[in-house]
Structure formats: structure tokens, C-alpha cells
Structure 1
């Protein structure tokens, strides 16, 4: 299985040196969101390394087609149902994903899209658990776009010297950034809740007559 995965990855990277590299990136990003095992980062990094000036254009292609593929994954889950999900995932993983949805709703998709967790697991399960489709799309753009544009920015501003660091540390950076996102959302939620409680006090308590 490891050899097969390695050969697939090598085949994907080889497309970076062809005139059809952008098309290959689009198809890979689309397929990985629902069934293909190789993440598009592999080809995105290769292309950004070869042409750093085009990094953001590649990130746009990668994000757009990844989200389109996520829509297909959502449809697979919605119409294939839980039995289909059980063919690809253990009951423990399904339970874990379901608990993420109960806690974070569609933002579990956004976080998964940014982290090393296989995105297809969350797109298919999002359809299975009938998450709101529009919010699912929004969360997908945030998560996938955040990850791909992070790669693009690193290569655009630092070029080839950053290649080894990105290859070794991308997953770690993604997880760290996702943690910051969660912390930011939690802080905003807490502040808005506190502000809401303050605004809910009776008008007579907040404004005293002179």
C-alpha cells in the first residue's frame, strides 16, 4: 500500500513538468475532495516551486476545484447515506466525525479542510449528516483556501529556500493555524456573548437620570 501511494504521488508530481500542469492540479483538487487519496498540496508545492510568481493563481485553481469536488462528496454522502460512509470508515471514525459536527457544526469542515485530516471524509459525512449546504460551501472555501493560500504565500515571498521547510512543516503549520482560528472564533464568541448580556440589561440600569 505504501509503494502504491508513493507511486501515485510521483505520478502526480510528474504533471508539474508538463503543459497540462494547471489542468492536472484542477482535476486532482476536485478528485481528492471525494475519492482520490493524494492531496493536491503535492502538485501545488511542485508548481509553486517551479513558478513562484504564479503561486496565488495556482492556489485559486486549487481552492475552487477542491470546493467543487467537496460538493460532489457532499452529494455522495447525502444520497449514498451512512451505509456508504461505513464502507470507507470505521465506526469509531464515523462517531468521531459526528461528534465534531455536533460541537462545531459546518466549521468542522473548515478546520478539516485546513488540516492534514482527509478532506473527503468530511465532505461525504457532511452530506450524510445533512449539514446546511450553503454554510458547508462557505466553510470549505475558508478551510481549503486558507491551506492553499498559505502554501502560495510562502513560495511567493520566499521562493526555493522555503521548499524544504514547507515539505517538512506544512502539516504542523496548518494545525497551528487551525488552532489559532479556533481560538479566535472562541474569543469572538465569548466577547459577543458578553456584549450581548450587557446590552440586554434594562435601559433604566444602563442610563441613570441626572
Structure 2
């Protein structure tokens, strides 16, 4: 099923309505969808590099709006909507593990700004729903989502404009790992600071 979703999403890049589909995919990725918007964003930006920043802005705005929807699902409809979605994608156990580990907004901020927003670890929908479940301040959530998702899409746009097709395989296969390593380092520093500051 995942492969069919991936192939279908890739096919959207060639359509005249690609920008609309990019917005739709970016929106639902942040709340209920499994396939990341990058799958559509990358071929669109490669085929029209002069529009890559426009695509990045579209994806960022839609992703943040989708994140707000994910927050609302976690806050208002966890048992009736969010939990079944997480169970459907096999992410419920991961979610519960994060839910039992996270105890404050600063930890959600780290997840959203660094690991999930940039590297999809954990998937963005898990973090947006979790932010709603723990009642994270919506204003702080929106600002952090703009920074996280904007940084990701604008970085991708810059890389694709500067390096073109050769960077695509690197981006698809290695960017998440590199950001993940950096994120782990930042989280470790934050935890160490929290421990030694008290």
C-alpha cells in the first residue's frame, strides 16, 4: 500500500494542478497522511528550479496549517479520530512511547523544530497530535512549526536550485540521516543543560 501511495504522489508532480496537490499533500502529511510532501516537492523543484522557492513557501504554509489541524485532532479528538489514524499507520505504539517520555513544551519544541520538522523523526503527524494532547500553547506551536517546516523546505529549495539533479539522490537518501545526527547532538546538549542547570 505504501508503494502505491508513493507512486501516486510522484505522478502528481507532472500535472498542471501540481501546486494545489503539493499544498494538499503538505497539509495532510502534518496531520494524517503517511507520505511526506518531499516526494512531490523534489520533482517539482527539479523540473522548474526557478519556482523552487515558491513551492517551498506553498509547502510551508500548507504544512503549518496541517500541523494546526494535527494539534486540534490531538487536543479535541484524540480518542475518536487521532488514535484510529495512528493505529491505521502503525504509529500508535511510537506515539504512546513519545507521550510517556515527553513532559513539557520544551521537549515538544525540540522534537518539532529539530528532529521531526527537519528529518521526519518521528513523523510530523505524531508530533503535531502529541502537541495537542499535552495542550502545548498554540501560538508557540505555530511559530515553531513555521520555523521548522520553513527551514526544511527552503533548505531543499536552495540545494535543488544550486546543485540540481545530482543533489536529489543525496537529499532523498542522506539528508534525514545527517539532520538526525545533528538533532541527536542538540537534544543531548539540551538534556545535559537541563540536568546540570538544576
Q: Distance in 1 between matches of 2:73 and 2:82?
A: 9
Task: Give the number of the structure whose alpha-carbon radius of gyration is greater.
Answer: 1
Map Cα deviations across residues 153-186 of structure 1 (whole Å, 9 max, x no partner): 1101111221222222121133244346557x85
2:129 aligned residue = 124
Please give the residue correspondences for 1:40-119 in structure 2 after superposition, counting only pairs within 5 Å: 40-81=37-78, 85-87=82-84, 88=86, 89-91=91-93, 93-102=95-104, 104-111=107-114, 112-116=116-120, 117-119=122-124
CA change 1:49–1:132 in 2 (3 A) is same
Q: Deviations over 1:21-64 (max 9, x none)?
A: 11110010001111111110100111111112211111111111
Match in the other structure for 1:14: 11
Alpha-carbon distance between aligned partners in 1 of 2:129 and 2:20, rounded to the nearest angstrom: 24
> Structure 1 residues 152-161 or 163-172, which shifts more?
163-172
Cα 1:26–1:177, aligned 2, differ >3 Å: closer, same or farther?
A: farther
Rounded to whole Å, the distance in 1 between the matches of 2:184 and 2:4 is 33
CA contact (8 A) 2:29 2:125 kept: yes
Map 1:2-41; keep pairs closer than 5 Å: 4-41=1-38
TM-score with structure 2 setting the length: 0.82
Q: Find out whether 1:134 has 2:136 as its counterpart.
A: no
Superposition TM-score, scaled by structure 1 size: 0.78
The one of 164, 175, 181 aligned to 2:180:
175
RMSD: 2.5
- In the alignment, the residues of structure 2 paired with residue 113 and residue 153 of structure 1 have an alpha-carbon distance, to the nearest angstrom, of 17
- Looking at structure 2, the residues matched to 84 and 19 of structure 1 have their Cα atoms a distance apart, in angstroms, of 33
Distance 1:100 1:158 in 2: 38
Classify 1:95/1:180 alpha carbon distance in 2 versus 1 (closer, same or farther; 3 Å).
Answer: closer
| Shift in CA distance, 101/12, structure 1 to aligned 2, threshold 3 Å | farther
Write out per-residue CA displacement over residues 78-98 of structure 1, whole angstroms, 9 at most, x where no aligned residue.
Answer: 111357554424456323244
